[in-house]
Structure formats: C-alpha cells, structure tokens
Amino acid sequence: MITHADERTENLVLPGDLAKLSQQAVFAAGGREIQRLAAANLRRDGRIDQRVEALEAALAQHRLHFRRPGPDMPRDETVGPAEGVLGGVALLRHAGKLRALRTKSSEFWLSATWLDSTGVLGLRNLSRMKAGADKCILVVNSGSSSLKLSLFDREADQLLRTGKELREFAEESIATVGHRFVHGGADFSKPVLIDKRVWSALQNIAELAPLHNPRAMKTYEEARALFPNAAHIAVFDTGFFHDLPDRAKIYPTPYQWYSEWGIRRYGFHGISHEYCAGQARFARRLVICHLGSGCSASAILDGKPIATSMGFTPLEGLMMATRCGSIDPAILLHVARHRGLSLDEIEQALNKSSGLAGVSGVSSDYREVVKAADAGNARAKLALEIYRDSIVAMVGAYAALLGGLDAVVFTGGVGENQAALRAFVCERLAWMGLDLDAAANQTCAADQDIVTAQSRVRVLVIHTREDLLIARAAKAVLP
C-alpha cells in the first residue's frame, strides 16, 4: 500500500537508529508476504530537509547483503550505496518506523520480491525519479496486438510515464523516439537512425513480418508527423539473434537459398530475450519462454543465444494466439494444389486464423480459452493441450542442446500471469530436478523465483522490459 507524504514529521527515523538495523533485522523485516513495496511521493519540505539529508547519507553507507539460494548461484550479493538508500527506506517504512520522507527535487520508487524469510532474489525497478521531463526519450513498442508507449528521461534510466496513444505525449519535450521493429532483415542487426535510405529498406522487408512491421511503419509515420524535430531510431527484435551459430540459423534447404537469397533463421522477441538473459545472468544454461500473443523460446549459453524457436519470420516455432507455429511445410503445398487456396489465403490462415483461435474456435485470448475448457469445451481443451505440449517439448529440446539446465524464465503476458500453465510445464520437467514451489507459483509477482531451495533448476517469472532496452539503445545511437 502506498502511503503519501503528509505534514507529519514526528515518525522520521534519525540516522542513529540505523545502527540498530542488523542484517538479521533486515531479513526479518522482509517476509514472504512482501511482494511489492512502494515509497511515497517525495517533495520539498524545508523543515525536514536537513534531517532527510542526514538520513540519506547514513543509508548510503549501509550496504545490505542478500543471500540467493540454490546451486551455482552466488551466496552473497552486495547492493551498492544508491540501492542501499532505497532498500533501507523501504524496509524502515515497512516496519512502521518511517511515515514520510521528503526531498528537495525527487521521489523514490521501489519494488521488491522476496524468496523466503531469510533471503531475497533482489530489488527491482530501483530508480530515483527526477522532477520534470527535459528532452525525453519516447519508446514506441508496436506489437502484433498492442501499442505500448513509454516516456523516459534523457539518460534512459527513469520511466516517467506510459500511454496508449501518441497524442498523449504531444506536449512533452521529445528529443528521441525509439521504435521497435520486429524484423530487421539482412541489413539491420543494430539500432539505426531512420533516414530515407533506412526507411526505403524497411518498406522492402515489411512483408517478412506482416503482423508487425506494417503496423510499426504506420506508427512511425504518425510519430514523425507529431515529433518532426526528434531523432527517430529503429531498434530491431532480430538484433539479439543476429550472430546465432551457423548450425542454428541455416536451414537444411539448398545452401544457395541462404547464400544468395538470405533465407535464414532471424529469431524474434530478441529485445525481450536479451533483457531476461541479463536479469538471469547467474544461469550459465538458460531457456527463456516469451509467451504472449506471439510465443518464442531461446536457448542461452553463457549469456549468448545458441538457438531460438522463431525463424525466417515470426510464424515458426511454438503455437501462438493466432499463428500456427511449426507445421509440416507440405501441408501448404497440399492445400494450394488440392484445395485451391491462394498464397494470400494461406498467409492469412497461418498468421491470423490458426493457433489458439483456430483450434479452439473460441478466442485468441489464452484466458478465454481456459474458461471455455473449464466449461467443458473439447476443442478449447485440445488447444490448451497442444499449446502446453509445444512449450514442454521446446524446453526439453533446448535443455539437451545446452547439455543441462540451470534456469527457465517465463515472461510475456501469458508467461507472467498463467500459474497453471507454468505448473504444467514445470511438472513435466521434474525429471531434471526441477522442484516447483506450488504456493510461490500461485501467488508470485513479477521478478520472482518460484521453485524450492532444493530445486536443481531455478524458475524465474520476469516482467520483461522491452521499453527500457529500446530507450537505452536509442540513446546509444546518438552522439
């Protein structure tokens, strides 16, 4: 619960009290029941500035030590001074020792997820929010079924606010706009300033991601008209997978298709996979499952991708909301030759009328399919079985490629919010030594480990931050 700062100051903690806050007290203050902590909106109050500054200075020197359970995981992690300030403030607030804290020109925001009464996975979204929005970075994230807009400070460190329509940001001072483009083709592996040459190339490859790139291009044109003086940067989903090993990116088709036509596995959701790989960098052998309207998996070894499920387009791989995923290519020849379907009709069917929607006949929304299955709809139940089995099979295959498994990540709208799906997948991976904590899985918030301390494989539910990586990538392009 967020407690807003008010005029009372009698409960402020003096620096001297900090000495009483032992490491054991820190752990005691954070039990399993703590899922998210939010500090107050902090504003200037001249009467307490001195006391606040003294408290901040003391907290900055107080380094918190958090333990991570499990094999192959570091036993201790030291959180630096800035995080110590925020962590100390939040823990004191939770203990009821700190009612209000105000500073001259900033506010604190903290979110934490706790593993158990004696250890914590880590602090998330630690930031010191600056007042104002001078020369901001706007992130435009166009997905297959959504448009997400995020405004960051000029350093791409602090999320200022979010929105759903470009005109909501018309009055902001926008210096840079970072656009997510799903497919970069053979020409683009890194973020790039969109000029006439780049725009022409993007138009030429739009058909490779028919659910994504055309929509991103339309949004770009709207943003360019709204922010004509801003630098517009394209950030590509395919970038993270650009350097896949040849054995993973080259299809077993005639080699000339690759060497002369550029037919290869590009991989998608790369921004999300890159973020999750960074969050789970303790794991040498990692499988990431990004499950949303589009679904993909990746195998990560020592921080680098060695395989991914999506291919030349975002159609390959796992079963998805409206996309079929991997099927026998000869089916396409058959329906063209014997059922008279045109190429456009086949493309429409595979991209927009297959997956959960096509099999269930109910909806492309995973939640609606679950409701229908629970009500006895046989096709909805079948759709869920195919969907779940495809994930289990992919994780198992990638575990074999990696020579074992240290961690699995679930992310995306479905991956983060469907506990029953995670339980199904994890139960079928129990033979790897994966021991799911049923209670933690059912009640978990974002950025949490949901297995027992005895589990040989960690399972992390991570709230992906494509917006953050896009903002940072866009900033890095400019001098």
The model's pLDDT over 144-168, given as tens digits with 9 standing for 90+, comes to 667 889 999 999 999 999 998 998 9
Quickly list DSSP for 116-161: ETTEEEEEEEEEEEESS-SSEEEEEEE-SS-EEEEEE-TTS--EEE
39 in any annotated domain: yes
Among the listed residues 237, 406, 449, 467, the single catalytic one is: 237
In this predicted structure, the answer to whether residue 409 has a pLDDT above a threshold of 90 is yes
Cα distances (angstroms) measured from residue 77 to each of 120, 121, 230, 314: 10, 10, 40, 38
Least confident of 106-120, 221-235, 392-406, 454-468: 106-120
Same-domain pairing of 319 and 443: yes
In this predicted structure, the answer to whether residue 83 has a pLDDT above a threshold of 90 is no
In this predicted structure, the answer to whether residue 92 has a pLDDT above a threshold of 60 is no
Same-domain pairing of 257 and 217: yes
Please calculate the CA angle 407-409-414 and round it to the nearest 5 degrees. Answer: 155
206 contacts: CB under 8 Å, gap ≥ 6: 213, 214, 217
Same-domain pairing of 253 and 377: no
pLDDT-derived band at 134 (thresholds 50, 70, 90) equals: low
Active-site residue flag, 237: yes
276 in any annotated domain: no
In this predicted structure, the answer to whether residue 418 has a pLDDT above a threshold of 90 is yes
Same-domain pairing of 344 and 292: yes
Give the mean model confidence (pLDDT) for residues 385-400: 98
Tell me which of 96 and 467 has the higher pLDDT.
467
Same-domain pairing of 103 and 163: no
Helix orientation angle between 196-204 and 213-226, rounded to the nearest 10 degrees: 150
CB-CB contact of 437 with 427 (8 Å): no
Same-domain pairing of 19 and 58: yes
Tell me the residue type at 160: L
Which DSSP helix (H) or strand (E) runs through 214?
helix 213-226
Same-domain pairing of 447 and 473: no
30 in any annotated domain: yes
In this predicted structure, the answer to whether residue 34 has a pLDDT above a threshold of 80 is no
Q: For the purposes of burial, counting CB atoms within 10 Å of the CB of 421, is it exposed (0-12), middle (13-18) or buried (19 or more)?
A: buried
Q: Report the alpha-carbon distance of residue 178 to residue 151 in Å, rounded.
A: 10
- pTM (2 d.p.): 0.71
Which DSSP helix (H) or strand (E) runs through 384?
helix 378-402
In this predicted structure, the answer to whether residue 102 has a pLDDT above a threshold of 80 is no
274 in any annotated domain: no
In this predicted structure, the answer to whether residue 271 has a pLDDT above a threshold of 90 is yes
9 in any annotated domain: no
Q: Of 100, 130, 160, which closes a domain? A: 130
434 in any annotated domain: yes
Mean pLDDT of the chain: 77
Q: For the purposes of burial, counting CB atoms within 10 Å of the CB of 349, is it exposed (0-12), middle (13-18) or buried (19 or more)?
A: middle
Tell me which of 89 and 217 has the higher pLDDT.
217
Quote the tokens at residue 365. Answer: 């929304």
Closest CA to 182 of 252, 246, 273, 262: 273
Provide the strand spans (E) within 396-471.
407-411, 448-449, 458-461
Percent of the chain with pLDDT over 90: 59
Task: Print the domain residue range for 120.
Answer: 15-130
Q: Of 68, 95, 130, which closes a domain? A: 130
CATH of the domain at 183: 3.30.420.40
Provide the strand spans (E) within 1-117.
65-66, 77-78, 106-116
Give the mean model confidence (pLDDT) for residues 35-44: 29
In this predicted structure, the answer to whether residue 3 has a pLDDT above a threshold of 80 is no
Q: Report the alpha-carbon distance of residue 406 to residue 434 in Å, rounded.
A: 10
Q: Of 77, 98, 130, which closes a domain? A: 130
What's the pLDDT at 76? 34
Same-domain pairing of 295 and 314: yes
Same-domain pairing of 290 and 251: no
* Pairing state between β 285-291 and 407-411: parallel
What's the pLDDT at 135? 86
Q: Report the alpha-carbon distance of residue 448 to residue 119 in Å, rounded.
A: 12
In this predicted structure, the answer to whether residue 176 has a pLDDT above a threshold of 50 is yes
In this predicted structure, the answer to whether residue 19 has a pLDDT above a threshold of 50 is no
CB-CB contact of 124 with 113 (8 Å): yes
pLDDT-derived band at 56 (thresholds 50, 70, 90) equals: very low
* Interval 276-334: pLDDT, tens: 999 999 999 999 999 999 999 999 999 999 999 999 999 999 999 999 999 999 999 99
Same-domain pairing of 427 and 324: yes
397 in any annotated domain: yes
391 in any annotated domain: yes
Closest CA to 230 of 275, 179, 283, 281: 179
Same-domain pairing of 308 and 200: no
With b for 16 or more beta-carbon neighbours within 10 A and e for fewer, the 241-264 pattern comes to bbebeeebbbeeeeeeebeeeebb
What's the pLDDT at 215? 83
Same-domain pairing of 159 and 119: no
Residue 192 three-state SS: strand
Total number of domains constituting the chain: 3
